[in-house]
Every structure is written in structure tokens, then in C-alpha cells.
Amino acid sequence: MKFAVLVFPGSNCDRDMYFAVKDSLGEEAELVWYQDDVDLTDYDALLLPGGFSYGDYLRSGAIASTSGILRQIIKAADEGKPVLGVCNGFQVLLEAGLLPGAMLPNRDLKFMCHFEELVVENNQSMFTRQYAPNERISLPIAHGDGNYFCDEATYERLQANQQIAFTYAANPNGSVGDIAGILNEQGNVLGMMPHPERAVEQLLGNEDGLRLFQSIVTYWRDHYAINA
């Protein structure tokens, strides 16, 4: 399986994501600069890494969401390809309208960088099928604008469609409904503030994040790679 890691000016978790896929997961990965003349249909899954694209100018993720490569990402998402946005990647997906809601500064205005306990709310998605229902996992967070906001009607829709993938066991940032990660309606786009790519081997603390990437691979093999 071939993963593209999209790199924007100011991305800084792109290499973590790249090595998580290449070394820990053992699949193909390529770093793709946002201005490169690439055809994203050559990749089986798209990863939008964390960082501070364009220095968070205007709003986190807002400027990157207008770049030309987003049109290809939106097309891939519409076609059902797995698209994962972590941290700033999540913010880009929100600003691009691929996921509902918006990010606000953390409730306490602090940049937070530590492990958080998460609850796997939906273990049926292509990103979470390797987790047990309501499993508690621990992943690092590292964000200043991770306070997820949406109106009540949107929150009810997220709940009704099982679009809430992860919640925080002890909400660190003020997010609506303790939300840490959400899926789109089709279930092939996941945005999350915690960093699974930073928890892929014991040396990094734990391997809880690795199963997210393994979920994508097993899903893909089940659906597309008949001969694999």
C-alpha cells in the first residue's frame, strides 16, 4: 500500500508520519511537496501531517486549505480514498470543508504537549477497526488550537452517524463533546488532534498509534488488494 504524506510550508510532523508508515508499519510512503506536479491518484491513502502550515496565519489551516493540491485531496476523498489529517492536518481538513466544525484556541490558551488518554468511540471505521469497542488508548497531543467547536445540530449529526472516532477521557482543551477526532459521513476522512504517528513503537512511549495505520492497511487489503 502506498501512502502520500502531504508537506506544506510549516509542516513539521511530516517526517514522523513518513517514518511511521515506512519503518513501523512497513508500507510504502512518499513525501509530497504541496506545489509538486503530482497525480494523487497514484497513492492509496493521503496523510496530512501536523505542524504550523503558513505559520497559522489568519486561522490554523486556513491558508493551506486554499492551495491547489487541496482540489486533488477533495477529489480523492469524494472517491472514497482514506484521508487522514492529524493536528494541523485536521485543521486543514476542517478549513477545506471536508469535515464539519472549526477549531478554537485551547480553553486555557496554553499550548499543550503531553500524552492524553482517549476513548475509541467508533471501532468500525477503516481507521479504527484494530481497536476494541470503547478501548482506552494513550496518544500524545501537541496543539494550541485543539478546542473543537461545532453547533448543536452538527454535534447531534456526528453522534447519530457514529462520526465521533475518538474522545478525550479527561478533556484537556474544551472541545465540544470531548471530541478528539471525527470522521466524515462516508467514513473515509478522519481528522484528529492527537498524534498516532508519535506512538508507533515502545521507544516512543507506546504503540497505540500503530494500530490506526494497521487498520487502514487491513481495510485496504480487504477491499482492494485481492491478490495481496
Partner 1 sequence: MHKVKVYITLKEGVLDPQGKAVQNSLHALEYDNVADVRVGKYMEVLLNDEGNLDAQVDEMCDRLLANPVIEDYSYMIEEVS
**Residue 87 is a catalytic residue:** yes
Among 15, 59, 129, 157, binds partner 1 (CB under 8 A): 59
Query: Which residue type sits at 201?
Result: E
> Does residue 67 belong to the site contacting partner 1 (CB under 8 A)?
no
**Residue 223 is a catalytic residue:** no
Query: Which residue type sits at 173?
Result: N
Among 2, 35, 55, 66, binds partner 1 (CB under 8 A): 66
- Does residue 69 contact residue 40 with C-beta atoms inside 8 Å? yes
Radius of gyration, alpha carbons of the chain: 16
Measured CA to CA, the distance from residue 137 to residue 124 in angstroms comes to 16
| Smallest distance, partner 1 to C-beta of residue 177, A | 14
**Residue 152 is a catalytic residue:** no
Catalytic residue, from 13, 27, 87, 121: name it: 87
Cβ-Cβ contacts under 8 Å for 159 (sequence gap 6 or more)? 177
- Contact flags string 116-145 toward partner 1, x per CB under 8 A: ------------------------------
Report DSSP state, residue 123: -
| Smallest distance, partner 1 to C-beta of residue 24, A | 35
> Does residue 28 belong to the site contacting partner 1 (CB under 8 A)?
no
Of 123 and 154, the one with the shorter C-beta distance to partner 1 is 154
> Does residue 184 belong to the site contacting partner 1 (CB under 8 A)?
no
Cβ-Cβ contacts under 8 Å for 37 (sequence gap 6 or more)? none
C-beta neighbour count of 30 within 10 angstroms:
15
Q: Which of 153, 119, 113 is nearest to 135 (CA)?
A: 119
> Does residue 102 belong to the site contacting partner 1 (CB under 8 A)?
yes
Among 13, 150, 158, 190, binds partner 1 (CB under 8 A): 150
Of 74 and 102, the one with the shorter C-beta distance to partner 1 is 102
Measured CA to CA, the distance from residue 77 to residue 58 in angstroms comes to 25
Size of the site for partner 1 (CB under 8 A): 18
Q: Which of 182, 173, 168 is nearest to 137 (CA)?
A: 168
> Does residue 74 belong to the site contacting partner 1 (CB under 8 A)?
no
Residues near partner 1, by CB under 8 A: 58-59, 62, 66, 95, 100-102, 104-109, 149-151, 174
Residues with catalytic function: 87, 195, 197
